[in-house]
Amino acid sequence: MDLFAGPLAFDLPTCLAVVAIVFAFTFLRYVVISGTYYLVTYRWFREAFRPHKLNPRYPDRKQLLEELSLGTQNLVCFCAFAVLILWLHVEGHTLLYTDVARHGWAWLVLSVPCVLVVQDAYFYWTHRLLHWKPLMRWAHAPHHRFRNPSPFAAFAVHPLEGALEVGFRPLIVCLLPLHPAAIAVLLVATFVINAVGHGGIELFRAGWSRHPVLGLLSSATHHYVHHKYVTANFGLYFAWWDKLMGTEHPKMHEEFEAAAVRPSAAPAPAPLALAVRGSGSGRLFRA
Ligand SMILES: [Zn+2]
Ligand SMILES: [Zn+2]
């Protein structure tokens, strides 16, 4: 039985129900995941995580409220694109399915990393586009206002940037067969990565960023460096596009090592940490 082949219709009651569900879920996902990570690392266990904080300063209440405000406005995009996906599905353009037997368990599991790889490529190139000056000024600069972001910056983008990012969703549901279980895993996992990426606290062990395989995964440092230096590190889940296109910042590994997790007998190189881990303040477009 395939529920998606059932009675879904593109009418006002269904659209309103979809908007209500998507709004509630997306908002809860935002405040629960970003809020929990913030409370654990910035409040309850601040001293334990402090050595791994890439920027020694902690964002003030004003910044947190700005991030939350921008993040909440961004929810409009998610609702609008959910209605578009409903229309695409009712018209028979999506490859969504609920019967696991149709594509097998192997595909259900494999579809998760497949989407991550495709979304990472989509994000890298649209992110490069957002750094084109005219778009940067009015669509991407609001996100870069936060030079020292908190986990709440994960969603804090201008609605136009949000529309470009969420535009990935209608494309992927038409290109790849996706099961609701895979989508649920992706919705939670990707936001956890996003919140950790904006938390500015390095959770990986020393040496990770230079490892030939592990170093291909994005780290908290990877995105922190993007916010700090602006002109490098455009990837989302993986570092390979930055390595391939020469857009990885030259100080990426130094920044990483200064905050990485290491045995207590091997402290971070202090002079390096002092030299690199500055306040992060400065003008936009600073190289
Ligand atoms: Zn950017
Ligand atoms: Zn960011």
Give residue 229 CA to ligand 1 midpoint distance, Å. Answer: 10
Task: Give domain status of residue 128, yes or no.
Answer: yes
Give residue 285 CA to ligand 1 midpoint distance, Å. Answer: 10
Of the listed ligands, the closest to the CA of 127 is: 1
Q: At what angle do helices 75-90 and 159-166 cross, to 10 degrees?
A: 30
Task: Give domain status of residue 214, yes or no.
Answer: yes
Q: Say if residue 273's pLDDT is above 70.
A: no
* Contact status, residue 131 vs residue 234, Cβ threshold 8 Å: yes
Mean pLDDT within 138-164: 95
Note the pLDDT of residue 5. 52
Of the listed ligands, the closest to the CA of 236 is: 2
Give residue 54 CA to ligand 2 midpoint distance, Å. Answer: 14
Q: Say if residue 261's pLDDT is above 70.
A: yes
Of the listed ligands, the closest to the CA of 70 is: 2
Of the listed ligands, the closest to the CA of 200 is: 2
Cα distances from 266 to residues 5, 188, 205, 206, 258, in angstroms, run 59, 35, 12, 10, 12
Q: Say if residue 79's pLDDT is above 60.
A: yes
Task: Give domain status of residue 29, yes or no.
Answer: yes
**Calpha distance 197→202 (Å, rounded):** 9
Q: How far apart are the first and last CA of the chain?
A: 56
Task: Give domain status of residue 151, yes or no.
Answer: yes
* Total structural domains within the chain: 1
Of the listed ligands, the closest to the CA of 153 is: 2
DSSP-assigned letter for residue 136: I
Give residue 96 CA to ligand 2 midpoint distance, Å. Answer: 30
Q: Which residue range forms the structural domain that includes residue 201?
A: 3-276
Give residue 95 CA to ligand 2 midpoint distance, Å. Answer: 31
Give residue 105 CA to ligand 1 midpoint distance, Å. Answer: 37
- By C-alpha distance, which of 89, 48, 57, 40 is closest to 196? 40
Give residue 55 CA to ligand 2 midpoint distance, Å. Answer: 15
Task: Give domain status of residue 287, yes or no.
Answer: no
Written as one letter, the residue type at 106 is A
Task: Give domain status of residue 156, yes or no.
Answer: yes
Mean pLDDT within 62-80: 94
The three-state secondary structure class of 201 is strand
Give residue 130 CA to ligand 2 midpoint distance, Å. Answer: 12
Task: Give domain status of residue 286, yes or no.
Answer: no
Q: CA 280, 285, 286, 287 torsion: positive or negative? A: positive
Give residue 140 CA to ligand 1 midpoint distance, Å. Answer: 7
Note the pLDDT of residue 8. 84
Q: Show the tokens assigned to 19.
A: 């908007």
Q: Show the tokens assigned to 56.
A: 């020694």
Q: Say if residue 22's pLDDT is above 70.
A: yes
Mean pLDDT of the chain: 90
Q: CA 257, 259, 262, 264 torsion: positive or negative? A: positive
Of the listed ligands, the closest to the CA of 284 is: 1
* Residue that has been written with the tokens 């997306």 in this structure: 26
Share of the chain above pLDDT 90, in %: 87
Mean pLDDT within 154-172: 95
Backbone angles phi, psi at 68, to 5 degrees: -65, -40
Give residue 17 CA to ligand 1 midpoint distance, Å. Answer: 34
Looking at the DSSP bridge assignments, the partners of residue 261 are 205
**Calpha distance 142→63 (Å, rounded):** 12
Reported confidence tier of residue 48, pLDDT bands at 50, 70, 90 = very high
Note the pLDDT of residue 170. 97
* Contact status, residue 224 vs residue 214, Cβ threshold 8 Å: no
Give residue 140 CA to ligand 2 midpoint distance, Å. Answer: 10
* Contact status, residue 80 vs residue 88, Cβ threshold 8 Å: no
CA angle 256, 47, 44 (to 5 degrees): 115
Of the listed ligands, the closest to the CA of 230 is: 1
Note the pLDDT of residue 272. 45
Task: Give domain status of residue 284, yes or no.
Answer: no
Of the listed ligands, the closest to the CA of 147 is: 2
Q: What is the pLDDT of residues 127-143, one digit of tens each?
A: 999 999 999 998 999 99
DSSP string, 6-64: SS---SHHHHHHHHHHHHHHHHHHHHHHHHHHHIIIIIITHHHHGGGBSSSS---HHHH
pTM for this one? 0.87
Q: Say if residue 285's pLDDT is above 70.
A: no
Note the pLDDT of residue 263. 75
Give residue 239 CA to ligand 1 midpoint distance, Å. Answer: 15
